[in-house]
């Protein structure tokens, strides 16, 4: 059985063993630690109070000299990472190849065609190729006319007007030179006509009203109708030769007030007659149909005129 002395010896032996393990010899080197000790303080572990049987052992242990505490030394070994040092770039030398010479392309020489036997069809084809093609002239008229200012008037390329005016226009190519192309259809106005020894006077109730003087020599002139009923005299009171008449109202006012008109027309050969005038306007003039006389007066802007027999 274990006695108290035996237990004490056993405890003393354990203490010696623990002391020997904890205190290494002075000449032995401590190992190098790679990890630094943690800065966090360790939490002390609670120990139980020694029993009465352990008091003697503890007293003996307290009398022993304290063992030196081990010193921990941390050694940091720096690591060097080698970096690649760029060296000079290698120079690549290209060796030129041989000079390439273009191979000339052969120019094909024309192969002569076999000689064909010339016949009638060949002659016809040759004549057709050598012939000069003449472009037809689609102008309505090929003649030219000289205007009042001495300029040459070229024919107009247009279709003839419809109706009776168109028939006269087509039958008389000179109307194309005189008037040009039509600008629309026909218009009807109130009118009056009076014949003279060497021409006629035509009143057309347009806005404003106009009096046309047409001479037998192919000329014509135009005047505004300024006669005012009740203000201007109806007649000049002149005595006309036998069988002739003095023009009155608007015709008379123009006739008496213009020596050229009076000298160019002479005395009136008929009395004034009211009628309806059909008018068509053109690029360079107008056509006025006079159904009372069965005539059409063509008046160009050049001052030239033509009086044709016909109705629109």
In this predicted structure, what is the pLDDT of residue 35?
A: 46
Inter-residue contact 303 to 148 (CB < 8 Å): yes
The mean-pLDDT minimum among 122-136, 151-165, 271-285 falls in 122-136
Following DSSP, what letter does each residue of 143-172 receive, concatenated? --EE-TTSPEEPPP--PPPSHHHHHHHHH-
**Nearest-CA neighbor of 297 among 276, 274, 273, 280?**
280
Q: Which pLDDT belongs to residue 164?
A: 79
Q: How far apart are CA 159 and CA 267, in angstroms?
A: 40
| Structural tokens at position 103 | 């191979």
Quick check: 119 pLDDT over 50?
yes
**CA-derived radius of gyration, the chain:** 70
What is the average pLDDT across 72-94? 49
Q: Which pair of tokens denotes residue 231?
A: 């203000």
Any idea which of 17-31, 195-209, 271-285 has the lowest mean pLDDT? 17-31
Task: Give me the pLDDT at residue 110, please.
Answer: 57
Specify the DSSP class assigned to residue 302. Answer: T
Q: For residues 211, 216, 219 and 222, what is the CA-based torsion angle, rounded to 10 degrees? A: -10
Q: How many angstroms separate the CA atoms of 283 and 137, rounded?
A: 22
- The answer, yes or no, to whether residue 8 has pLDDT greater than 70, is yes
Give pLDDT tens digits for 132-167.
544 333 333 333 344 444 445 556 678 778 777 888
Q: Are 66 and 21 in contact (CB under 8 A)?
A: no
Task: Report CA-CA distances (Å) from 139 to 136, 144, 146, 173, 281.
Answer: 9, 12, 18, 11, 21
Residues facing 280 on adjacent strands: 287
């Amino acid at each position: 059985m274990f006695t108290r002395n035996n237990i004490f010896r056993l405890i003393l032996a354990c203490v010696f063993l623990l002391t020997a393990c904890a205190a290494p010899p002075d000449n032995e080197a401590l190992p190098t630690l790679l990890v630094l000790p943690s800065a966090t303080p360790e939490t002390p572990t609670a120990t139980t109070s020694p029993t009465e049987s352990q008091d003697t052992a503890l007293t003996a242990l307290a009398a022993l000299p304290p063992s030196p505490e081990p010193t921990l030394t941390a050694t940091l070994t720096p690591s060097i990472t080698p970096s690649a040092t760029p060296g000079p770039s290698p120079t690549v030398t290209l060796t030129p190849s041989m000079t390439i010479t273009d191979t000339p392309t052969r120019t094909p020489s024309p192969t002569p065609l076999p000689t064909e036997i010339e016949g009638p069809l060949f002659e016809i084809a040759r004549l057709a190729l050598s012939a000069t093609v003449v472009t037809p002239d689609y102008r309505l008229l090929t003649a030219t006319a000289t205007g009042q200012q001495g300029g040459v008037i070229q024919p107009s390329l247009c279709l003839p007007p419809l109706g009776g005016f168109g028939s006269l226009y087509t039958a008389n190519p000179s109307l194309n030179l005189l008037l040009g192309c039509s600008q629309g259809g026909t218009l009807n106005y109130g009118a009056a006509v009076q014949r003279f020894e060497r021409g006629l006077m035509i009143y057309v109730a347009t806005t404003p009203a106009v009096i046309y003087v047409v001479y037998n020599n192919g000329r014509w002139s135009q005047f505004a109708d300024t006669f005012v009923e009740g203000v201007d005299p109806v007649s000049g009171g002149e005595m006309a030769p036998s069988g002739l008449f003095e023009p009155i109202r608007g015709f008379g006012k123009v006739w008496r007030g213009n020596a050229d008109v009076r000298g160019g027309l002479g005395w009136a050969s008929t009395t004034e007659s009211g009628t309806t005038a059909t008018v068509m306007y053109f690029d360079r003039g107008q056509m006025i149909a006079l159904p009372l006389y069965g005539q059409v007066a063509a008046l160009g802007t050049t001052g030239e005129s033509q009086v044709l027999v016909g109705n629109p």
